[in-house]
Amino acid sequence: MHFNKLILTVFLFATLSVVGQTDFGLKVAAAAEDLTKDQVIYNSTYFRIPYPNGDVPKPYGVCTDVIIRTYRKLGIDLQKEVHEDMKAHFSEYPKNWGLKKTDTNIDHRRVPNLRTFFQRKGKSIAETNQARDYLPGDIVSWTLNNGLTHIGMVSKTLSKDKKRYLIVHNIGAGQVFEDCLFRFKITGHYRYGK
């Protein structure tokens, strides 16, 4: 029985690692994992930042900054990408904040804007309750139990039970690994990049 369980675990790991996985997705996941080495204090303050390639001060960040910093490590500036798309297609982006025009300091740091951007420019993937559908480098968004939005990156590190990949996110404790894929209501599943 123990041997069969081991074979099943190896099979699940191989399935999780191969089906639909891309080299770029693995690079994205590795870049996200690298962020967990940095000490970051959760801070949702509005910061004025340079454009392009602007970032909030080093010790601070929120969930969206995990996504932004991950892609920046791969030479993709989501601040610029989101701004350009939002400027060209402003009416397609949420108006949750009463905006009348774009703001390069904050637009890319809002989960609803990132969701719209990834739907428009990336690949939207069905939201399922099957761990095998969420691959390293995928982006997942949720609605938390308090109604707030959240976003994180699927890592390439498996959970202790080897059934799903851990998430790299910042929900208040800094940029960390956590086994939380199905903890909240999934509202989006995306792949972005090469």
* Structural domains in the chain, sorted by start: 2-191 (3.90.1720.10)
20 versus 127: which is more confidently predicted?
127
User: End-to-end alpha-carbon separation of the chain, Å?
Assistant: 42
* DSSP, residue by residue, 143-189: E-TTS-EEEEEEEEEEPTTSSSEEEEE-SSSSSEEE--TTTSEEEEE
Nearest Cα neighbor of 132 from 43, 47, 19, 55 is 19
Cis previous bond, 112, omega within 30: no
Residue 19: pLDDT band (50, 70, 90) is low
Which tens digit of pLDDT belongs to each residue from 167-190?
999 999 999 999 999 999 999 999
Which tens digit of pLDDT belongs to each residue from 31-65?
999 999 999 999 999 999 999 999 999 999 999 99
Residue 75: pLDDT band (50, 70, 90) is very high
Whether 8 has a pLDDT exceeding 70, the answer reads no
Per the listing, tokens 């938390």 go with 144
Which tens digit of pLDDT belongs to each residue from 119-174?
999 999 999 999 999 999 999 999 999 999 999 999 999 999 999 999 999 999 99
Helix (H, G, I), strand (E, B) or coil at 141: strand
For residue 109, give every residue at least 6 positions away whose Cβ sits within 8 Å of its Cβ, in sequence order, or none.
56, 62, 64, 65, 68
Determine the pLDDT at residue 43. Answer: 97
Determine the pLDDT at residue 77. Answer: 98
